[in-house]
Structure 1
Amino acid sequence: MMMKAPLDPRAARSREAILTAARQLLLAEGPAAVTHQRVAQVSGTGRATVYRHWPRAEQLLLDVMTGTDLPFFRAPQSPVRPWLHRQLRQLADELRLPTVAAVALTVIQGSLWDPGIARSRDGMIAAIDERIGVALVLAERAGEVELGASATDAAALLVGPVLYRTAMQSGRVDDDLIDRLIDRVGTWRT
């Protein structure tokens, strides 16, 4: 069995600086901001160094996303329906980017064989389910909606079609589709 050589201390420091910068960009601006150029600028490393550690942008994004809280569906605001629309719009726009779609599909595929990726996927799903659930309870308590789905079902009804349209069909999610998806989770009062 061949052992991996330990990472050179300078390479380890640059790798950590790159991951830290990528996490900051992901949380502040979303997945689209995690590019080799932007990460190099924020981390203070050269773009060639970022490429040396992560030859493809989706590899870097996957490493960052599996260790970072997703930037979607956080901090619901009343009224919930427009907030939910904005969150789904952001998700759909991000998933249209080839790198982000590749990461989403890699997480789905990789979780079939890799227990670590499966745990990350499960954590992402649990976070989205919980956040959407909190938002819908807020809307229900405010009298905005009479719910017709559980939080888990609502998340599937909202996020599933967006992922399918963008990452699998390479299509655009228009605002009418987002409205129809939101309508499926309950009866909204406007």
Structure 2
Amino acid sequence: MNRPGRPAGPTADTVTVVLTAALELLLAEGATALTAQRLHQATGVSRSTIYRHWPTPSAVLAALIDVAPLPPAEPSGDLARDLHAEVDQLCNRLRDRPVGAFLQALVVAAAADPDAALLRHRYVGDLLAPFHAVLRAAGVPATEREDAVAVIASPLLLDALLLDRPTARNRAHRIVDDVVAKVVRP
């Protein structure tokens, strides 16, 4: 039996329109632009629909994170090759405007909004998850895995977020080789 009233969620078209506009606003103006009023102006979607489904800028950021993940790659079984591939993928993602700029906007938003800080952690976790998966598949223990991911990814995130320079792919590949030499037991 169908019940009259509002649908449970926005239509797929509405989600696409709102989140596309939200990403454009975020990249152009930062997270403070993710208000229902600005999204309404950019999309024509009613403010009440936007408020109902994305009541805060953090809710919009969370929805953007939900649609951002890349499908994980299947590990080949060669730890070094798999980690090099993940480094290349992360370098490409940080170089590309949406991912790098999105992460920078999350950092700025997190300074003023505890919800955005949680989202920043979630987004960075999503970016680092492929490294964890590769190391887990290779049988690297959890504590060593955490350290290895930090050693590999930290310089890339530092370059992209704090130093505003291209990620040093060659340095990252050297770091991967050092990590592999340390975690692979003869």
Identity of matched residues, %: 18
Aligned counterparts of 1:79 and 1:68: Cα–Cα separation in 2: 30
Q: 1:132 touches 1:155 (CA, 8 Å); kept in 2? A: yes
Which letter does structure 2 place at the counterpart of 1:171? Answer: R
Secondary structure of 2:66's partner?
Answer: coil
Q: 1:165 touches 1:171 (CA, 8 Å); kept in 2? A: yes
Alignment of 1:68-147 (within 5 A): 68=67, 70-71=69-70, 74-128=73-127, 131-140=130-139
Aligned with residue 158 of structure 1, among 142, 152, 157? 152
1:179 and 2:173 aligned:
yes
How does the TM-score come out when normalised to structure 1?
A: 0.55
Gaps of 5+ in 2: 1-6, 26-38, 44-59
Secondary structure of 2:75's partner?
Answer: coil
Q: 2:80 touches 2:177 (CA, 8 Å); kept in 1? A: no
Alignment of 1:5-16 (within 5 A): 13=11, 14-16=13-15
Q: 1:18 touches 1:50 (CA, 8 Å); kept in 2? A: no
**Structure whose alpha-carbon radius of gyration is higher:** 2
Aligned counterparts of 1:74 and 1:65: Cα–Cα separation in 2: 21
Secondary structure of 2:175's partner?
Answer: helix
Alignment deviations for residues 97-154 of structure 1 (CA, whole Å, 9 cap, x no partner): 344322111212322332322222232344455543332132247xxxxx7x622222
Q: CA 1:181–1:72 in structure 2 vs 1: closer, same or farther (change >3 Å)?
A: farther
Aligned counterparts of 1:35 and 1:83: Cα–Cα separation in 2: 33
Deviation, 1:162, is 0.8
